[in-house]
Amino acid sequence: METLTTGPILYVLIAWGIVTAVFMLLLIRRSLLASHEDDQIFLDAAQEHMAREQREIVAKIDALSRPLMTSGIASGALLLVLAGLWLYNGLRNI
C-alpha cells in the first residue's frame, strides 16, 4: 500500500482525481442545462423571448461538448497510466 502514497503514482492519482472531478462537474452542468431544454415548443411571434431562451440553452450545451469530451478522455487516459504504473511497480517488486 505504500507504493500508492509515494512517487509518481501519487502525482498521477492526484491529477486523475482533479480531472475526474472537473469531468463530473461538467456532466452535472450539462444535465442541468438539458433539463431546461424543451424538445418541441410551439410559439407564435409574441413569444419570441422563449424561443431565444431555448436557443441560448442549446448554445450553452453545445459549448460544453468539447471540454466535456476532452476531460473525459484525459480522465480515462490518466486512469490507464495509473493502472500501468501500479502494475509496473507490482511486477518490479516481485
| Domain positions in the chain | 2-38+47-89
State the SS3 of 38-82: CCCCCCCHHHHHHHHHHHHHHHHHHHHHHHHHHHHHHHHHHHHHH
pTM reported for the whole predicted model: 0.79
Could you tell me the maximum CA-CA distance found in the chain, to the nearest angstrom?
A: 74
pLDDT in tens, 4-13: 567 889 999 9
Return d(Cα 32, Cα 61) in angstroms, integer: 10
Per-residue pLDDT tens, the chain, 94 aa: give them: 555 567 889 999 999 999 999 999 999 999 988 887 665 566 666 677 777 888 888 888 889 999 999 999 999 999 999 999 999 988 988 8
